[in-house]
Chains A and B, each alone.
Chain A
């Protein structure tokens, strides 16, 4: 069975600085997708960024980028120029490529606080 682990329950960053959130996963599959979702307090979860495992190039979305290390089964999220609005719970999630249902397997989450 696939598992996703986020070993940092809480992280803190100064506004305008850079922070990296860690995620590791375990799978025997060769093709899959990885996601980072953001869940602000009392608000709904939104997709931040996604990565296809067959792509060697790391995904980027504006200030958000990932460091995908397939051999190490590591998928970290880097947030550059942190803003107050980035404060939220961040969840790493896995989806198998051949999983017809497309269900997501989530990590435990990392709570990010941004200090002004």
Chain B
């Protein structure tokens, strides 16, 4: 049972560029979550999918952010026209609905630095 994986682990980009991150959840998990974590803070929810449907989006997810999960397996998070304020750790988590506590398992994160 492999865990949640994320790629890349680190990304450095210049302001104004577009970036895309990938998350591969645990294989039998139908729910997938994206969180953002800035230095010294706890993770903040961005969005979540159940299978391929994006069911909730945070107000933190501006128009420059878009997430997809086309076949209900891996997910991508794209940030267009990056800003310095986008610098953060982007965490992905997955879980299986229907279980009593629906525990979320986290990936190692993608650290984004916008210069």
Contacts and interface: CB of A to CB of B under 8 A. Distances in A.
The winner among B3, B35, B43 for most chain A CB atoms within 10 A is: B43
B25 to A, nearest CB: 13
A45 B41 contact: no
Contacts, number: 58
The winner among A33, A37, A102 for most chain B CB atoms within 10 A is: A102
Contacts of A105: 45
Contact of B43 (A33, A43, A91, A100): A91
A105 B4 CA distance: 20
A13 to B, nearest CB: 21
B2 interface: no
A85 interface: no
Interface in A64-116: 91, 93, 95, 100-109
Interface of A: 4, 6, 33, 37, 43-47, 50, 52, 91, 93, 95, 100-109
Given A44-B4, A44-B108, A102-B95, 7 more contacts: A44-B109, A50-B103, A91-B42, A95-B102, A102-B33, A103-B48, A106-B44
